[in-house]
Structure 1
Amino acid sequence: MKFTSRFALVAALGVAVAAVAPGTPAFAKKKDEAAAPALKIGEAIRKPLAEADTAIKAKNLPAADAALAQAKQLAKTPEEQYVVAQYGLNAAQASGDQARLSTALDELIATGEAANQLNDDARSKYYWFQGQFAYQAKNYAKAEASLSRAIAAGSTEADAYAILADAQSRNGKTTEALATLQKVIDAKAAAGQAAPSEWYGRGADMASRGKLPNQFVKITTAWLTAYPVKQNWHDSLFIYRQMAGLSGDVDLDLLRLSRAAGVLPLSAQSNYIDYALAVYLRFPNEAVDVLNEGIAAGKLNPSTSQNTREIIALSQPKLAPDKASIPAAVTAANGPKATYKSVMTTADLVYGYKDYAKAAELYKVALTKPGADAAQANFRLGLALAQAGDKAGAKAALDQVTTGNYAVLASYAKVWAQTPPTS
């Protein structure tokens, strides 16, 4: 089955271009300006610069361009070239042409660096806008370089890391992009803050497209902790299911977790069928309950779904004897001849009837048997305890699951047990 990505990085990249342009020529020193050293500007270049200034203020761009062209020819030193670039940026801003503004900003940065006139505050602003212009032009290599410089200079722009990560991803550097996002997410978490939900979502999209399951699990569990929305839960679990190619009992347990988290109704009807097919021969009550939930959610229609119709028809007659068998099965599970598999079967049977406390007792018994699959039993124990209301016990059980695909399911289940999904 295929999933359509819902993840997006930034809704808009609007640029307040006025923030880029210097308000006053650097050589026209203000009375209260003492920090920046005076620029050395030759007398020959002052006249065309003054003409350019007058023309820009009058919005006479042809005249401004002519004066700037003359000034550019006269500019011999890095400082003079930098001042011309400042006026060039003001003229580009007045033109309203973003391509021209981008080119002018490039020149301002290059000449400012050459003249040693850019401090970190200026770099953080100029490279930030340069990075945005490059990103909008789909020049992702340039965007990556510029945004990296802006961040290194101390940029506090909220979206700088997110856009940098997206540029890295589009450059084919998925691992680096995820590291960029994870760095800022971790920093915000350490400060008691949550990064925007879109950042986590974009990271999840990068990891899934890059086929990086470990990174996907790390960023999505953090996402679900910060934003426990049902749609986020659905996407995280079912994209992981697809990435990992789950099958057998592990796949069934992911479906059980998705049902416990209340996100099955957001999924495709095939997931209900997959669930029912996995349990109807052993646990007919669980199969019928799941299919009835799918029907109630509008996901299944017995008249058009042959699997739904046939599984219910086959399972319904078994429900009464199945339920009647529980007391004897529980007694046998607690008896001396019980094996790991027989106890687990009984525990799963009871779980399917939603007697989570009794199921938890039996999963604990199963863990004492020779050959016990500790990861599987502890995961199901944690799932049962959480639904029985014992969050601490659920966490303790899930903490014991440390290897394989069950460890991934346990990491999701621990988040769910502590922070149930919201609508």
Structure 2
Amino acid sequence: MMKSRIALAIALGVSAAALSAVNPAVAAKKEAAPTIKLGDAVRKELAPAQEAMKANDFAKAQTHVDAARAAATTEDEKYIVGQIQLNIGIVSQNNAKVCQGVDEMLATSKTDAESKPKLASQQGHCAYEAKNYAKAEQAYNNAIASGPVADDVYARLADAQFRGGKTAEAVATLQKVINAQAAAGKSVPTDWYARGADMASRAKAAPQFVDITSAWLTAYPVKQNWHDSLMIYRQLANPSGDADLDLLRLLRASGAMPLAAASAYSDYAIAVYLKYPNEAVSVLKEGIAAGKLNPTTSQNTREILAISEPKVAADRTAVKGALAASQGAKATYQSVLSNADLSYGFGDYKQAAELYALAGAKAGANADLVNLRAGASLIQAGDKEGGKAALAKVQGGTQKVLARYWTVLADHPAAS
């Protein structure tokens, strides 16, 4: 099975060492604030706890905080105990204590509006690290609902949803923030798209995979991304016959074919050599030039070249008369489609587009197939808008997905 770069996409998990602590300036609110009232039992424990912290005696500080916790009965008291617990965690670099303090503060109604997004985000990080993905999802959603959050909160929310078995929601979360970032004129890291594609592919969720990769290829139309998107979609959809040929033609047109395994070249050649030998020869020679095929060691390559190369000259002559033949009274859908595919294989995309249009008007025509191929031909002939108009007519199945990808390629040609 093909190993994809997407499968190695950045993991968005947070290590314990990297867990971000809440800013101490946010955590260390003054006890004297008018809305906070402490009883004597709690106050007498927190004062020595803070003194112990200043002396870096965290064990002693923790003992006093534990005693204050036991004595706390009101929300004010529980909130302040959580704050001091959080500060102990921050200063001692103890993530478990940070997480405990954050949970205690958020369990009360005393967290102010400015602090809540940061604290809820931290709570999400803590839950994620503990593999409590349901709690992490809830915390991240609370953070987002409370106010502005760091961009990576959305990415981590999506990862928590995915790890919790909510693939559709995870991809939708990433897509939502991607769209929002784009609308605001901000760039989105390529790893976010890659992670979304990885989530969808692992869950075998082809529709979500197509959505996220279409956006990815729009934003980052590099050949590696084209290769990964198309070849993983090929694994998900498992197309056969014409659908697989159309996918491989798109891969070749995107310039990403040299990144594929040798089998992609062989599969392409096998699909066309009996009917369109020139296309098979061209693909195999490209594979040889790319170092993916070796006629000395590949029996398929040797045999297909031996069968196909002698037929090329006659087919080249046939292409010259293909348009006239297809306009004749005896022309059928299949005969015109064959002439269109033959022209496509020789790189005569303008004529191929005309012939696909003629084929589409014949009885028994497969409208989605001819519109897809007409659109692909027009784009490669330089008529981008005409190609997109033809692609917009494709209605269903794998052809509709490929039409969507072709439209992206038309507007965003693949870069190296």
What is the TM-score with the length of structure 2 in the denominator? Answer: 0.94
Partner amino acid, structure 1, of 2:366: D
- Tell which deviates more after alignment, 11-20 or 200-209: 11-20
Q: Which residue of 2 aligns with 1:24?
A: 28
Partner amino acid, structure 2, of 1:97: N
In the TM superposition, what whole-angstrom CA distance separates every residue of 1:258-304 from its partner, at most 9, and x where no partner exists? 10111111111101000000001111111010001011111111111
SS of equivalent to 1:121: coil
In the TM superposition, what whole-angstrom CA distance separates every residue of 1:10-58 from its partner, at most 9, and x where no partner exists? 38663342526645344234xxxxxxx4311223433322211111112
- Residue 18 to residue 142, structure 1, CA distance change in 2 (3 Å): closer
Match of 1:103 among 97, 100, 104: 100
Q: Which residue of 2 aligns with 1:268?
A: 261
Q: Distance in 1 between matches of 2:323 and 2:340?
A: 8
Match of 1:290 among 280, 283, 300: 283
Match of 2:149 among 147, 156, 162: 156
SS of equivalent to 1:151: helix
CA contact (8 A) 2:374 2:390 kept: yes
The answer to whether the aligner puts 1:6 opposite 2:8 as a matched pair is yes
- Residue 191 to residue 155, structure 1, CA distance change in 2 (3 Å): closer
The answer to whether the aligner puts 1:326 opposite 2:319 as a matched pair is yes
Q: How many residues align?
A: 412
Runs of 5+ in structure 2 lacking a partner?
none
In the TM superposition, what whole-angstrom CA distance separates every residue of 1:74-109 from its partner, at most 9, and x where no partner exists? 333221222122112111222212122222322232
Pairwise CA RMSD:
1.9
1:24-423 equivalences in 2 (<5 Å): 24-29=28-33, 37-110=34-107, 113=108, 116-423=109-416
CA contact (8 A) 1:382 1:393 kept: yes
Shift in Å, 1:413 = 0.3
Shift in Å, 1:344 = 1.2
- Tell which deviates more after alignment, 260-269 or 8-17: 8-17
Shift in Å, 1:69 = 3.0
CA contact (8 A) 1:224 1:233 kept: yes
In the TM superposition, what whole-angstrom CA distance separates every residue of 1:122-167 from its partner, at most 9, and x where no partner exists? 2211110111122122221221121111111124211111111111
Shift in Å, 1:9 = 4.4
SS of equivalent to 1:120: coil
Shift in Å, 1:249 = 0.8
- Residue 46 to residue 310, structure 1, CA distance change in 2 (3 Å): same
Shift in Å, 1:401 = 0.8
Shift in Å, 1:3 = 4.0
- Residue 145 to residue 282, structure 1, CA distance change in 2 (3 Å): same
Partner amino acid, structure 2, of 1:19: N
Partner amino acid, structure 2, of 1:142: K
SS of equivalent to 1:325: helix
What is the TM-score with the length of structure 1 in the denominator? Answer: 0.92
CA contact (8 A) 1:178 1:207 kept: yes
Shift in Å, 1:305 = 1.1
In the TM superposition, what whole-angstrom CA distance separates every residue of 1:233-275 from its partner, at most 9, and x where no partner exists? 1111111111111000111011001101111111111010000
SS of equivalent to 2:151: coil
SS of equivalent to 1:10: coil
Runs of 5+ in structure 1 lacking a partner?
30-36
Q: Give identity over the alignment, percent.
A: 53
- Tell which deviates more after alignment, 247-256 or 132-141: 132-141
- Tell which deviates more after alignment, 206-215 or 247-256: 206-215
SS of equivalent to 2:114: helix
Q: Distance in 1 between matches of 2:22 and 2:398?
A: 52
- Residue 22 to residue 364, structure 1, CA distance change in 2 (3 Å): closer
Q: Distance in 2 between matches of 1:47 and 1:62?
A: 17
Partner amino acid, structure 1, of 2:332: T
SS of equivalent to 1:282: coil
Shift in Å, 1:330 = 3.1
Q: Distance in 2 between matches of 1:240 and 1:162?
A: 23
